[in-house]
Amino acid sequence: MAGTTVADGGLVERAFAAAAQQLGVEPGSAEHTAQLDYVRATMGESKISVFRHLFGDEERAQQANTAFEKAYHDLVDDGHCAPLPGAADAIGTLRESGIKVALTTGFSRATQDRILDALGWYDIADLTLCPADAGRGRPYPDMVLTALLRTATDDVRQIAVCGDTSYDMLTGRRAGASVVAGVLTGAHAREQLTAAGATHVLGSVTELPAVVGAVPANATGTGVV
């Protein structure tokens, strides 16, 4: 969602800074810089998994995750959350053509619901998934395969995955999707998306319906963004 259909605007980094500071990591310190580099490199991954890597023990990871969610929720509640231009129309076009759409995220269900509520998007997709709904988050294929099962899609080759991070691309590849499209509206650049296995690199999600429409009818069916 963030960076693909929803404008991020640096919210993840701002919420991370608040969480890190609460755990004693001062902004501008070498530790903070190294941690922020890791957060940027792993955009799209389950946030609790990121914090487990950064802070080691489970108690500190949970503290960081709780602080991150509170900071992110506050930013959303303050109005710092908006759809990317044309994203809602693109989702509508996909669904109108008979393609089922699942919105996936590396955030928790609470954060995902906060975003959906802020945007009025509860009915915009056929399905919304977070890592806890599927077992593991990105870069594992669990959310994509869960979407396949819940939408009664017949074949992994009928899946199109679209995202803004290298982990989105790796997830799509691992799930066997025929279309793994990177967008340039979020965290990672063309080179990172291509290196991670993107079959297409798009300016934004607004280009996805045309890409899916260009694929033979038996090779696409579920758009996962």
Per-residue pLDDT, averaged over 35-49, amounts to 83
Q: What is the pLDDT of residues 162-177, one digit of tens each?
A: 999 999 999 999 999 9
Q: What is the pLDDT of residues 99-115, one digit of tens each?
A: 999 999 888 898 899 89
Give the model's confidence band at 217: pLDDT under 50 very low, under 70 low, under 90 confident, else very high: very low
Report the C-alpha gap between 22 and 149 in whole angstroms: 40
Q: How many CB atoms neighbour CB 52 within 10 A?
A: 17
Q: What is the pLDDT of residues 131-140, one digit of tens each?
A: 989 988 889 9
pLDDT of 116: 92
Give the model's confidence band at 220: pLDDT under 50 very low, under 70 low, under 90 confident, else very high: very low
Give the model's confidence band at 9: pLDDT under 50 very low, under 70 low, under 90 confident, else very high: confident
Q: Is the pLDDT of residue 92 over 70?
A: yes
Q: Is the pLDDT of residue 186 over 70?
A: yes
Q: Is the pLDDT of residue 44 over 90?
A: no
Q: Pick from 148, 98, 101, 147: which is nearest to 124 by CA?
A: 101
pLDDT of 224: 53
